[in-house]
Amino acid sequence: MSQPLVSIIIPTLNRLELLAQSIWSVTAQDYKNIEIIVSNNASRDGTADFLRRIHNTDFRVITHPFTLPLEINVAEAARQARGKYMLVLSDDDLISDTYISTMVAAFEADEAVQVGLGRRVLINEKNEVLHQSEPLAPAAYSESAATWLPRYFASPTEHNQINTVFSVFYRRSEWLRCGGQPALSSSFFADTIPFIGVNTPETKVFYAPDAMFLYRMHQSQETRQNAARQTYLGLFQFFDHLRGVIGPFGASEAFKAAVIRYILMMFFGSCGPFAQQERIQPADLYRVLLERLGEAPQAGLEDGQDAAEDRVPFAGAA
C-alpha cells in the first residue's frame, strides 16, 4: 500500500539558523512521502539565498515580496499544498523522527480521527532540553472529541503538555473546510479555531506520548511583550470566528464555559497589567464573551459524557 502524502508547512521570517534545524528535523523522519513547503515571509537575513541552494523534488518554496500576517502566510501555503495530511511547523521548532509515521498510522487506521497531538518538550537555542512535560497518558490512544475537548479546555495544565495548537496534525481537506487559522489581531487565539472547527461529537482526537514535539524557548521569545490592546481586540475577534465553526459543540454549556475560561486564562496570563489598568474583571468579561458566542443550537453534544468509555488504546498500524 502506498503511503499518503503529508505536507509539512514551515512559515518563516528572519530565522535562518533555526529554520535550517526545523527543515533537518523533517528530512530525518522515518516516513518518507513528505512534501516540505517553506513559506518565506519576506525574510531579510539570507533565508532566500539559503532556500535557493536546496535542490530536492520534495521541497517547495513560496516567497512573498512583503511580510504578510502569519495566518495569511500559512493559509496560502496550505492551499498550494498537495498532501492528504498537513502539519504547520514553526521555523524554530522540531519534531522527533517518528512523529509523522505515528500520526499517519493513527489517521489511516480510523477515519474519525481529526486531530493528532504529541508530547511537548521545551528546548533552548542550543537544543538542550529545558523541560519534558508529563504525558497525558502512558500510551497512545484515540478518544471521542466530545469528551476530550471539554476536558482539555477545562484543564489549567494540559495545553502545556501537548504540542502547540499551532502545530496540530490535520487532514488538510478538513483544515481548509473550516477556514484554517483566521487573521486576528492576536495570533495566539487563531490556531484554536481549526482545532475546534474540524471536530464534531462524532470525531476523535489522537494523542501519542512518544511523538515528541520540541518547542524552542529563545531570548527574543522570552523578552517579547504582547501588544495588550491588540490582544484584547483579538480576543473578541476570536469569538466572532468561533461562532461559525463551533457546530454541535455549541449546544453544551459546559463546553462553551470551558473554552471561554481557557481563553481568559491565556488573556489574563499575558495581559494582566492591561486588564488591571482597564478594570477588566474575569467574571464580567466571561459574561460578555458568553453573550458574544451567541445562542447554542438546539441539538448536539450533551453535557456530562464519560471519557473512560470513549478512550481507545492505539498500537499502530498492522
Digit-coded pLDDT (tens) for 298-315: 444 555 555 545 677 776
How many structural domains is the chain composed of?
Answer: 2
Residues in Cβ contact with 247 at an 8 Å cutoff, skipping those fewer than 6 apart: 197, 200, 297, 300
User: Are 196 and 149 spatial neighbours (Cβ–Cβ below 8 Å)?
Assistant: yes
Residues 111 and 129 in one domain: yes
Residues 267 and 240: their CA atoms lie apart, in Å, by: 16
Residues 115 and 249 in one domain: no
| CATH number (domain holding residue 17) | 3.90.550.10
Residues 158 and 100 in one domain: yes
Residues 200 and 277 in one domain: no
- pLDDT score at 309: 54
Q: Rounded to the nearest 5°, which phi and psi values hold at 176?
A: -70, -40
Give the pLDDT confidence of 243-259 residue by residue, as tens digits: 999 999 999 999 999 99
Residues 202 and 239 in one domain: no
**Is pLDDT of 161 > 70?**
yes
With respect to residue 38, please indicate whether it lies within any of the assigned structural domains.
Answer: yes
For residue 288, count other CB atoms closer than 10 A to its CB: 13
Residues 182 and 94: their CA atoms lie apart, in Å, by: 24
**Is pLDDT of 297 > 50?**
no
- pLDDT score at 221: 47
Residues 84 and 128 in one domain: yes
With respect to residue 303, please indicate whether it lies within any of the assigned structural domains.
Answer: no
Residues 76 and 81: their CA atoms lie apart, in Å, by: 9
Structural domain containing residue 280: 228-293
Residues 210 and 259 in one domain: no
Give the pLDDT confidence of 212-270 residue by residue, as tens digits: 999 998 665 443 445 788 888 899 999 999 999 999 999 999 999 999 999 999 999 98
With respect to residue 306, please indicate whether it lies within any of the assigned structural domains.
Answer: no
With respect to residue 260, please indicate whether it lies within any of the assigned structural domains.
Answer: yes
Residues 216 and 243 in one domain: no
Q: What angle do CA 306, 114, 90 make, to 5 degrees?
A: 120
With respect to residue 166, please indicate whether it lies within any of the assigned structural domains.
Answer: yes
With respect to residue 271, please indicate whether it lies within any of the assigned structural domains.
Answer: yes
With respect to residue 313, please indicate whether it lies within any of the assigned structural domains.
Answer: no
Give the pLDDT confidence of 63-117 residue by residue, as tens digits: 999 999 889 999 999 999 999 999 999 999 999 999 999 999 999 999 999 999 9
User: Are 51 and 40 spatial neighbours (Cβ–Cβ below 8 Å)?
Assistant: yes
- pLDDT score at 318: 41
Which amino acid, residue 235? L
Residues 219 and 226: their CA atoms lie apart, in Å, by: 15
With respect to residue 300, please indicate whether it lies within any of the assigned structural domains.
Answer: no
Mean pLDDT of 29-43: 96
